[in-house]
Amino acid sequence: MTKPAPKTKTAKPSKQVPTAEPKTDPHVLQVVRGLEGIDEPMNTSQIAARLATRSYMTSHAMRAYAGFSKDLMTVSDVDHELRANGDALVAGDLGRLERMLIGQAITLDTIFANLAERSSRQEYVKNMETFLRLAMKAQAQCRATAETLALIKNPMPYIRQANIAQGHQQVNNGVAEHCAHTATTSFEQTKILEQHHGEWLDTGAQGATSRANPQLAALEAEHRPKD
């Protein structure tokens, strides 16, 4: 009696596992075609130079000083927000800049008040002077920030007065009036050298009595010096 041949196991077709796409590092700023004019013909050095000179390093510096962990705030998101604020400013929207300045001014005012209050609790004069000096610095920075904000809200026009008849010349009214007064005085001083138009005074003739001292009279002819 013959035994049945053992059944051979047929190999099942293997399932193809889809290959996972490489994950991008969120902590590395990705180079996007068209960003800041980046195109394919540019080599690595040119791309790095373009990013480094267009606030790429600002994203890393801001994240380092922001106080958030790397997992909570990525450099790509920081760069996106910086570019959005920059685009708004270029378009003429100063709202973000104004809010930033008023926040800084209020913070500096708070620092001033804190340092001034701490100076009053110091026992030694040297420590008091140190806190007061720092308080005055914070106050000065607060004032400068407020002045910058006021200048943004109410820009001062640039006014230049020009003498159109004489070409492009800047005219100072005070200097012009002084020159006109000087010219008139010189003309009046020149007129006393002449009696009539075209006739010069005779230096040997008897002159009129000076009004400075009316009691002094002119010399008689015999008392005049001879040539």
Min mean pLDDT across 57-71, 150-164, 195-209 is at 195-209
Residue 136 belongs to some domain of the structure: yes
**pLDDT band for position 97 (50/70/90)?**
very high
> What tokens were used for 77?
């998101």
**More confident site: 144 or 185:** 144
Residue 45 belongs to some domain of the structure: yes
**pLDDT band for position 42 (50/70/90)?**
confident
**pLDDT band for position 57 (50/70/90)?**
confident
> What tokens were used for 16?
């193809």
200: left (phi over 0), alpha (psi -120 to 50) or beta: beta
Indicate whether 100 and 151 sit together in one domain.
yes
**More confident site: 90 or 8:** 90
**Strands 199-200, 194-196: pairing kind:** antiparallel
Indicate whether 142 and 109 sit together in one domain.
yes
Q: Which among 92, 110, 127 is the end of a domain?
A: 92
Q: Which domain holds residue 140?
A: 94-156
The sign of the CA dihedral 176, 177, 178, 183 is positive
154, pLDDT greater than 60: yes
Contacts of 152 (CB under 8 A, 6+ apart): 94, 97, 98, 101
- For residue 209, the one-letter residue type is T
pLDDT at 198: 54
93, pLDDT greater than 70: yes
The arithmetic mean of pLDDT across residues 142-170, rounded, is: 76
**pLDDT band for position 23 (50/70/90)?**
low
Q: Which among 156, 178, 193 is the end of a domain?
A: 156
Rounded to two decimals, the pTM is 0.53
Indicate whether 107 and 125 sit together in one domain.
yes
pLDDT at 3: 61
- In three-state secondary structure terms, 196 is strand
Residue 39 belongs to some domain of the structure: yes
Residue 55 belongs to some domain of the structure: yes
Residue 125 belongs to some domain of the structure: yes
Indicate whether 63 and 35 sit together in one domain.
yes
Residues composing the chain: 227
At 206, give phi and psi (nearest 5°).
-75, 130
158, pLDDT greater than 70: no
Q: Which among 107, 140, 156 is the end of a domain?
A: 156
Indicate whether 139 and 108 sit together in one domain.
yes
pLDDT in tens, 174-198: 554 555 555 555 445 545 444 555 5
- For residue 29, the one-letter residue type is L
Indicate whether 66 and 107 sit together in one domain.
no
pLDDT at 83: 87
- For residue 183, the one-letter residue type is A
Residue 175 belongs to some domain of the structure: no
Indicate whether 127 and 86 sit together in one domain.
no
Residue 163 belongs to some domain of the structure: no
Indicate whether 47 and 79 sit together in one domain.
yes
Indicate whether 53 and 77 sit together in one domain.
yes
Whether residue 142 contacts residue 105, with contact meaning beta carbons closer than 8 Å, is answered with yes
State the total domains in the chain: 2
Indicate whether 133 and 81 sit together in one domain.
no
